[in-house]
């Protein structure tokens, strides 16, 4: 039966650091994911599991055979030593940084017309040569601890205190501020919650070959005193006189002091209060489309104050007018 010291290429008086160093070298060379022999890799892991534990090592040195040929969880032992599995499991290095999401408020007018905003942003950047990977956790931010319980080995994770789970150690003056000018293109008809992405302006990498994150603007549209938006439609109110509500009025209308048009209330016949009248294609632009929603107008009718004399006069004249309309 193979001697555990021979398996690692060591003498019996080998120190703990020599055992650890030998295992690292042989484990990488013989890992199955690297084309190594799985049986050989298991033997190496078993030898390290025993000889790296002071109690097990003493029992083995005193002639204990219960550790020979035992099938340990060699993958976990390797993960504990190197902070990752060769194939799958925890990834030692990140491939890209996180995105940063910021809320950006615009007016309803900006949403109606579309706009271009030129912004100046500041990025927290890093000098690569002044940052190193944490050697305690191998850049993961967590450390695998091994606890031996008799013939069983328990491996559990804990946050790395040295790097405070970041995976990196920053030396002096590692961080600097980078200022950038960016352009925010806000399309016509933009909706609440629409997101605009500025590539590579999010979280910045601490090491080379890691892609920066993106800066994402979440559009928030402020309320407007004149219009209420409902999807692609706009709702507004207009004051007209009682007389105009009956005989009609020509209205000059402005949408955000940008689009102007005229309409006559006669198209609605007699205007009623608390009723919404639709004017098609006068609402919000539909994003990435040439069409618009509708404008809904509610007319607030200013009724005159009447004394009995005026009320009687109005009653008699209206009866005459409407009786003639019926005849026609």
Stated pTM of the model: 0.64
Name the range with the highest mean pLDDT among 21-35, 82-96, 168-182. 168-182
What would the mean pLDDT of 299-319 be, rounded to a whole number?
86
175-232 confidence digits (pLDDT tens):
999 999 999 999 999 999 999 999 999 999 988 888 999 999 999 999 999 999 999 9
Helices and strands counted in the chain (H then E): 8, 15
Asked if pLDDT for residue 91 goes beyond 50, the answer is: no
Q: Which CATH number is 4-82's, of 3.40.50.300, 1.10.287.110, 1.20.58.340, 1.10.260.40?
A: 1.10.287.110
Nearest partner of 238 among 189, 292, 295, 305, judged by Cα: 295
Are the beta carbons of 107 and 227 closer than 8 angstroms?
Answer: no
Domain with CATH 1.10.287.110 in the chain: 4-82
For domain 100-221, which CATH number applies: 2.60.40.1120, 3.30.465.10, 3.40.50.300, 2.60.260.20? 2.60.260.20
Comma-separated ranges of CATH 2.60.260.20 domains in the chain: 100-221, 228-327
How far is the C-alpha of 95 from the C-alpha of 210, rounded, in Å?
Answer: 5
**According to the CATH classification, is domain 228-327 in 3.30.420.590?**
no
Distance, in Å, from the CA atom of 228 to the CA atom of 232, rounded to the nearest integer, reads 11
């Amino acid at each position: 039966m193979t001697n555990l010291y021979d398996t690692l290429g060591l003498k019996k008086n080998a120190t703990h650091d020599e055992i650890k160093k030998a295992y690292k070298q042989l484990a990488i060379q013989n890992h199955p994911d690297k084309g190594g022999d799985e049986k050989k890799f298991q033997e190496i892991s078993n030898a390290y599991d025993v000889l790296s534990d002071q109690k097990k090592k003493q029992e083995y040195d005193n002639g204990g055979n219960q550790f020979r040929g035992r099938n340990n969880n060699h993958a976990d032992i390797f993960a504990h030593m190197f902070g990752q599995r060769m194939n799958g499991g925890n990834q030692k290095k990140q491939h890209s940084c996180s995105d940063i999401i910021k809320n950006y408020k615009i007016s309803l007018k900006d949403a109606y017309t579309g706009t271009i905003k030129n912004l100046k942003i500041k990025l927290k950047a890093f000098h690569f040569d002044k940052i190193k990977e944490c050697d305690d956790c191998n850049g993961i931010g967590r450390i695998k601890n091994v606890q031996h319980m008799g013939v069983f080995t328990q491996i559990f994770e804990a946050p790395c205190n040295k790097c405070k789970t970041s995976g990196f150690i920053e030396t002096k003056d590692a961080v600097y501020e980078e200022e950038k000018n960016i352009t925010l293109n806000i399309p016509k008809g933009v909706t609440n919650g629409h997101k605009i992405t500025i590539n590579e302006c999010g979280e910045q990498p601490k090491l080379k070959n890691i892609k920066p994150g993106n800066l994402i603007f979440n559009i928030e549209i402020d309320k407007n005193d004149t219009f209420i938006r409902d999807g692609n439609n706009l709702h507004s109110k207009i004051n007209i006189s009682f007389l105009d509500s009956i005989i009609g009025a020509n209205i000059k209308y402005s949408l955000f002091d940008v689009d102007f048009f005229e309409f006559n209330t006669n198209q609605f016949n007699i205007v009623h209060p608390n009723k919404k009248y639709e004017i098609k294609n006068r609402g919000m632009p539909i994003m990435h489309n040439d069409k618009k929603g509708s404008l809904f107008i509610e007319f607030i009718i200013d009724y005159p104050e009447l004394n009995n004399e005026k009320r009687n006069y109005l009653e008699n004249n209206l009866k005459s007018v409407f009786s003639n309309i019926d005849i026609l």
